[in-house]
């Protein structure tokens, strides 16, 4: 995919985790310069095993244009070549770099959101947990689009007819086994590898979770939203009746897709304390 021409675009390398390569990041901002000091760290989907930051050129460029902020798109290493914790540590390195370079980038370090879709949203949720515990940088908001949160979904046999399209139970098993370095088991998983397994959710950044009712991740996403709210973390849960995994990418002009994008955009604006300008039709 060619580089975007409707935003200021830049490729950078940021210091990687200890003993690991530097992390490539793609930066997007409006051609006239950011209108707001907030920033968005975006983590792409792909089941931990596929996809790239470059695949999200269009989406990240439009976030930058419509919201008037800086978007940092992370090119994290993929499983199975790099299993947990490598991909998560790459994302943390990018978040820490964004905080450390906030002054140079014109960003308010207290107004950085983490976002992603599918496995990228799962990494964003794990990143919010890891950042909270390390205490070096605190995301202001989590925007989680149909996040991949719970490896135990692989072990459940009855999915209520969900997961028939795009991301199936078989795909889910492959993704989690590749990321964890072994098939999921009921007993446990490494800390920070599986966001839904964390017991204490208190103190995490406010969140918005959106998912379709036919998505394999619907039950785990609904449960995580409920647990966040129970822990005192504001979390809006938005479900799209009859929508399957990532359906807005396949049917972008459908009214339900537009509503999904509009709701997520408004949630991000609220989470970052931004004015409500523009609409979702160009996202």
Q: Yes or no: say if 74 and 229 are a contact pair by the CB < 8 Å rule.
A: no
Q: Which of 215, 221, 247, 264 is catalytic?
A: 215
What's the chain's Rg over C-alpha atoms? 17
Our answer to whether residue 245 is catalytic in this structure is yes
What is the distance between the alpha carbons of residues 174 and 177, in angstroms, rounded to a whole number?
A: 5
Our answer to whether residue 215 is catalytic in this structure is yes
Residue 62 neighbours by CB distance under 10 Å: 20
Q: Which of 245, 247, 257, 264 is catalytic?
A: 245
Our answer to whether residue 226 is catalytic in this structure is no
- The token pair at 219 is 């039950």
Q: Which of 29, 118, 178, 247 is catalytic?
A: 118
Coil vs helix vs strand at 191: coil
Specify which residues 115 forms β-bridges with. 42, 143
Specify which residues 30 forms β-bridges with. 7
Burial 102-138 (b: 16+ CB within 10 A, else e): beebebebebbbbbbbbbbbbbbbbbbbbbbeeeebb
Closest CA to 193 of 138, 149, 227, 136: 149
Q: Yes or no: say if 49 and 174 are a contact pair by the CB < 8 Å rule.
A: yes
Specify which residues 207 forms β-bridges with. 142, 235
**In this structure, what is the dihedral angle of CA atoms 148, 151, 152, 153, given to the nearest 10 degrees?**
40
The DSSP 8-state label assigned to residue 46 in this structure reads: S
- The token pair at 193 is 């590898």
User: Which residues are annotated as catalytic?
Assistant: 118, 215, 245
């Amino acid at each position: 995919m060619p580089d975007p021409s409707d935003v200021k675009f830049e490729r950078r390398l940021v210091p990687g985790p200890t003993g690991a390569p530097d992390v490539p990041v793609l930066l997007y901002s409006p051609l006239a310069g950011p209108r707001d000091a907030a920033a968005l760290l975006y983590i792409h989907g792909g089941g931990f095993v596929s996809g790239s930051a470059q695949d999200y050129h269009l989406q990240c460029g439009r976030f930058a244009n419509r919201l008037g902020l800086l978007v940092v798109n992370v090119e994290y290493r993929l499983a199975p070549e790099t299993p947990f914790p490598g991909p998560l540590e790459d994302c943390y390195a990018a978040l820490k770099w964004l905080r450390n370079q906030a002054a140079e980038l014109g960003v308010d370090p207290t107004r950085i959101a983490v976002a992603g879709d599918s496995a990228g949203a799962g990494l964003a949720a794990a990143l919010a947990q890891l950042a909270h515990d390390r205490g070096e940088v605190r995301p202001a908001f989590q925007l989680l689009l149909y996040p991949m949160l719970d490896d135990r979904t692989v072990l459940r046999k009855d999915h209520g007819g969900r997961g028939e399209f795009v991301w199936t139970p078989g795909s889910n098993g492959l993704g989690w086994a590749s990321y964890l370095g072994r098939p999921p088991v009921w007993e446990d998983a490494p800390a920070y590898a599986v966001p839904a397994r964390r017991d204490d959710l208190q103190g995490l950044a406010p969140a918005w979770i959106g998912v379709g009712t036919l998505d394999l991740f619907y039950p785990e996403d609904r449960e995580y939203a409920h647990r966040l709210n129970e822990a005192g973390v504001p979390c809006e849960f938005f479900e799209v009746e009859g929508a399957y995994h990532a359906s807005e990418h396949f049917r972008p002009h459908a009214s339900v897709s537009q509503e999904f994008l509009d709701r997520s955009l408004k949630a991000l604006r609220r989470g970052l304390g931004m004015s409500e300008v523009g609409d979702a039709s160009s996202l």
